[in-house]
């Protein structure tokens, strides 16, 4: 049986990448090391933008990197695991690194929901819509449990070994700067922005809109109010062109507006 603290100490001393996968004893582990410290400059700029636009959901959530990012991820993983949320199991921790168990089947790819939805586009609207609803349902369960995610982009939702949707990437903590209702609204907007383009490409946006409305109506009044205010102030997105020649970022924002618009 692997001695996880010893394994972490030994591998962290020689690992050069910020995150790497290992396969001791037939299981798959991930070792994440502290990276370089990040500057506060860009967070101050985002804070100014959020205040100017009166969009508190854009309030920056600092990820300063280094050992602080490791400590934040450890705290959030433990909190979410205690609530029954499917996140990587922490096996060992030290100040500059952590060791986690793989969420999927050892040795097999663990697709993100973003990749699954993209790959399902040729199969049509219902295939993509089913995957999208799984992600939405998983995020809703976290909210009903009284918690929130960090960056609820579709790339950070993954297929676990049991087939359910789990979550990764917790180096920042929105709850350190935002009240719970805004954390929930932030999760909702992150997921909408990162998943709407696949819905659009599969011809599923029309079917997704009432499902989105129903999901939002199940959230807290604070979350709903924050979403209404944010969507109103982002109404200029409806004027974005639809041409693919202008890049996927604009396409993604335009598709998100179509999904979110009242």
The class level of CATH for 4-101 reads alpha beta
Phi, psi values for residue 15, rounded to 5°? -65, 130
Show the beta-strand stretches assigned E in 79-206: 90-94, 97-101, 157-159, 165-167
Contacts of 51 (CB under 8 A, 6+ apart): none
Residue 47 has a pLDDT of 45
SS3 content of the chain, % helix, strand, coil (to 5): 60, 10, 30
Q: Residue 6's CB: how many other CB atoms inside 10 A?
A: 10
Residue 241 has a pLDDT of 54
Residue 40 has a pLDDT of 47
Which of 77, 146, 135, 84 lies closest to 111, judged by CA?
Answer: 135
Residue 66 has a pLDDT of 85
- Distance from CA of residue 100 to its chain's centroid? 18
Task: Give the integer Cα–Cα distance in Å for 149 and 155.
Answer: 13
Give the chain's end-to-end CA distance (angstroms, integer): 55
Which DSSP state fits 36? Answer: P
For residue 33, list its beta bridge partners. 97
**pTM for this predicted structure:** 0.88
| Average pLDDT, consecutive stretches of 10 residues, N- to C-terminus, the chain (262 residues) | 95 95 93 72 45 57 79 96 96 97 85 95 97 97 96 93 91 92 93 93 96 96 91 63 58 76 76
Task: Give the integer Cα–Cα distance in Å for 121 and 204.
Answer: 10
């Amino acid at each position: 049986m692997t001695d996880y603290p010893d394994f972490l100490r030994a591998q962290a001393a020689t690992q050069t990448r910020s995150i790497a996968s290992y396969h001791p004893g037939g299981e798959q582990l991930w070792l994440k090391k502290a990276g370089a410290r990040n500057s506060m400059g860009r967070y101050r700029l985002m804070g100014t933008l959020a205040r100017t636009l009166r969009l508190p959901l854009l309030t920056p959530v600092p990820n300063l990197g280094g050992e602080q990012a490791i400590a934040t991820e450890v705290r959030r993983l433990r909190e979410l695991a205690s609530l029954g949320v499917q996140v990587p199991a922490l096996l060992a921790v030290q100040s500059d690194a952590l060791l986690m168990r793989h969420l999927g089947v050892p040795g097999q790819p663990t697709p993100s929901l973003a990749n699954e939805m993209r790959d399902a586009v040729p199969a049509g609207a219902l295939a993509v819509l089913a995957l999208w609803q799984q992600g939405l349902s998983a995020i809703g369960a976290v909210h009903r449990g009284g918690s929130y995610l960090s960056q609820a982009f579709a790339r950070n939702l993954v297929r676990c070994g049991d087939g359910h949707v789990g979550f990764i990437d917790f180096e920042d903590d929105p709850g350190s700067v935002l009240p719970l209702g805004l954390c929930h609204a932030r999760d909702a907007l992150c997921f909408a922005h990162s998943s709407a383009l696949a819905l659009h490409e599969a011809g599923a946006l029309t079917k997704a809109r009432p499902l989105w409305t129903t999901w939002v109506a199940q959230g807290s009044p604070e979350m709903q109010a924050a979403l209404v205010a944010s969507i109103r102030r982002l109404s200029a997105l409806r004027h974005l062109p639809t041409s693919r020649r202008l890049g996927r970022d604009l396409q993604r924002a335009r598709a998100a507006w179509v999904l979110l618009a009242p």
